[in-house]
Structure 1
Amino acid sequence: MTHVLILVAVAVVLWYIPAGRQRHGAGSSAAAQARRLRTPLVRLADLVGIQTARGRQAQQWAAGAAGEKATAARLAPLARQGWTVLHDRALLTGRANVDHLVISLTGVVFVVDSKLWSARYRLRVVGGRLLHGSHDVTERLRGIRHEARCVAEALGCPVIPIVSMQGAPVDGGELVIDGIRIIPADRLLPVLRTLGRRKAAVKQHPGKAAARLFAPYRRK
């Protein structure tokens, strides 16, 4: 009976303690979604060691937020050098967001998607399909393909989509599938710097337009 009363008391406390406020910046929308999923009952279940579907989803969103923050830290030197580096930005239509929108000094535009996948399985391309171990994960690139297309249409210039992969080893150190580059996270900066030296096919640097058009994301 005592244990039941303690759990009830903890549940009441958790009900009145907010899971946290939404902030802006890298990983903010993913972190906010994790907080939404961690209802008082979910937090109580976590506290007593009971796994729930919502709890697992919250962990996945939280891991995604951590991955985006790690990528933002890697991109910080570029921002200090004058590159345009925008994190967690909303597209003009729909509910999707861009993890990282990066524009070089010459105006080359990149959409960078942070991924944190299991290190147990290697990433490789076989027959035009992306495999994580033996699992076909090609469809998981649909998001960044859509984001790059939307950004290109809004800015009126080409966009290079890049997946910054944490965890899973990338076969050969870099994969390209359907125009999307997949690289290990620790190679992100050298790849961006190399590609960013190209002369962009734009009349005006798109940095200011990107900052104006793509507002910080707020989950609807």
Structure 2
Amino acid sequence: MRQADAVAARWEHGAAGEAATARLLAPLSRAGWHIRHDLRLSGRRFNVDHVLVSPCGTAVVVADTKTWHRGRPTMLIGGRVHCGDDRHDQVEAVARYARLVEAALDLPPGVVVVPLIVVHGSPVAPGGLEVPVSGGTVWVLGAGEVVPRLQQAVQALPDRHRAQALDARVTAVLSPYR
């Protein structure tokens, strides 16, 4: 019974963090971003917390929400992400999810997939962390850094038709997680 209660508490804690991230990301839709929450790939057990398509249609952001210990900073130690203890396996998992999403989307040339961890609670260094992992880099950002970083990252002019086509592909490939 205690184990079931602990699992339920973790799910509730995670759901609250994901809802906070969804509220945080919502203003990006007014800037042309297409945003989806709580998705899955067919045949896979994991869920993708948030998927964003840039207004220029050249980037897909695969974002995972983490609510880590408020009293411990998130930092790199020896090239691994720590928040009190080693969290690097979670960073590697987000990179894997992003690669699987990228493969499933079968993206046209010039479209990149960016794995992102949004950290609530634990302070992350200003500007966030760019963490090297096998196959690329994962952005680890404090909640307050996410929107400015995404806005800054998009340098291309908005292309509504390209963004809509990419968003339609995301919608066709990823389904709501139940």
Q: Aligned partners of 2:126, 2:147: CA distance in 1, in Å?
A: 17
Q: 1:98 and 2:48 equivalent?
A: yes
Q: Which residue of 1 aligns with 2:7?
A: 57
Contact 2:48 2:64 in 1 (8 A): yes
- Structure 2 gap segments, 5+ residues each: none
Q: 1:181 and 2:139 equivalent?
A: yes
Contact 1:104 1:197 in 2 (8 A): no
When normalised by structure 2's length, the TM-score is 0.85
Q: Output the amino acid matched with 1:212.
A: A
Deviation at 1:96, TM superposition (A): 1.1
Which deviates further from its counterpart, 167-176 or 52-61?
Answer: 167-176
Q: 1:192 and 2:142 equivalent?
A: no
Deviation at 1:204, TM superposition (A): 4.2
Structure label with greater radius of gyration: 1
Among residues 56, 67, 72, which one is paired with 1:116 in the alignment?
67
Contact 1:130 1:136 in 2 (8 A): yes
Q: Aligned partners of 1:174, 1:161: CA distance in 2, in Å?
A: 13
Query: Per chain length, whose mean CA-contact separation is higher, i.e. which structure has more relative contact order (CA < 8 Å, sep 6+)?
Result: 2
Deviations 1:17-60 (A, max 9, x none): xxxxxxxxxxxxxxxxxxxxxxxxx5xxxxxxxxx121111111
When normalised by structure 1's length, the TM-score is 0.70
Q: Aligned partners of 1:106, 1:144: CA distance in 2, in Å?
A: 23
- Structure 1 gap segments, 5+ residues each: 1-41, 43-51
How do 1:74-153 and structure 2 match up within 5 A? Answer: 74-107=24-57, 108-133=59-84, 135-153=85-103
* Identical amino acids, percent of aligned pairs: 33
Q: Aligned partners of 1:129, 1:199: CA distance in 2, in Å?
A: 35
Which deviates further from its counterpart, 149-158 or 118-127?
Answer: 149-158
The count of aligned residue pairs is 165
Q: Output the amino acid matched with 2:170.
A: A
Query: Which of structure 1's runs of 4+ aligned residues deviate more than 6 A?
Result: none
Deviation at 1:92, TM superposition (A): 3.1
Q: Output the amino acid matched with 1:61.
A: W
More strand by share: 2
